[in-house]
Amino acid sequence: MSATSDNTVIGLDIGDARIGVARAALGSFFPAPCDVILNDDRVYDRLKECISTNKAVALVVGLPRNLSGDDTAQTTQVRSFTSTLEQRLTVPIYFQDEAGTTKRAEQELNSHKRPPKGPAGSVDALAAAYILEDFLQQEANRELFT
């Protein structure tokens, strides 16, 4: 990932094996998929580096829930992961309902005869972009960064 200007927000789609990463410059509200990070024993260091490199001012983490909006086992795992991440970072972390983002990303990529290469062609990174987009489009959340 290349460095961007200050006031970047990073979005994460946390999975058991991989974490999709997206970023958006504040003011533009147009997130872009930017990376996929392996969810292994070095994941926290990689995420810390990502935040530093991008000069991020906040993280938005997709929060999985069932169709009724209730927590699931995956919700518990994401909250636990985020709690550990929060102890290692100095930027605020916000949760965003991730309902439908993976399916939307899969449909988007399947609609192309040739999906884009790199992070833009990754379901995980594209889902992270949708999570971040949903968060930034909420008027109340925009006020957090003005």
Kindly report, residue by residue over 27-79, the tens digit of the pLDDT.
777 898 989 999 999 999 999 999 999 999 999 999 998 878 888 888 999 99
Q: pLDDT of 88-114, one tens digit each?
A: 999 999 999 887 767 777 777 677 666
Give the span between the Cα atoms of 58 and 56, in whole angstroms.
Answer: 6
In a domain, 57, yes or no: yes
Residue type, 107: Q
User: Has residue 120 got a pLDDT over 60?
Assistant: no
In a domain, 56, yes or no: yes
Question: Largest Cα–Cα distance in the chain?
Answer: 43
Which CATH number does the domain housing residue 63 bear?
Answer: 3.30.420.140
Q: Report the SS3 class of residue 34.
A: strand
Q: Are 43 and 50 in contact (CB under 8 A)?
A: no
Average pLDDT (6-17) is: 90
Phi, psi of 11 (to 5 degrees): -110, 140
Domain encompassing residue 44: 8-141
In a domain, 103, yes or no: yes
In a domain, 3, yes or no: no
Q: State the total domains in the chain.
A: 1
In a domain, 2, yes or no: no
Residue type, 11: G
Give the span between the Cα atoms of 65 and 98, in whole angstroms.
Answer: 8
User: How far apart, in Å, do the first and last CA atoms of the chain sit?
Assistant: 25
Q: Strands of 18-25's sheet, edge to edge?
A: 32-38, 18-25, 8-14, 56-63, 93-97
Give the span between the Cα atoms of 14 and 36, in whole angstroms.
Answer: 10
Confidence band for 82, pLDDT divided at 50, 70 and 90: very high
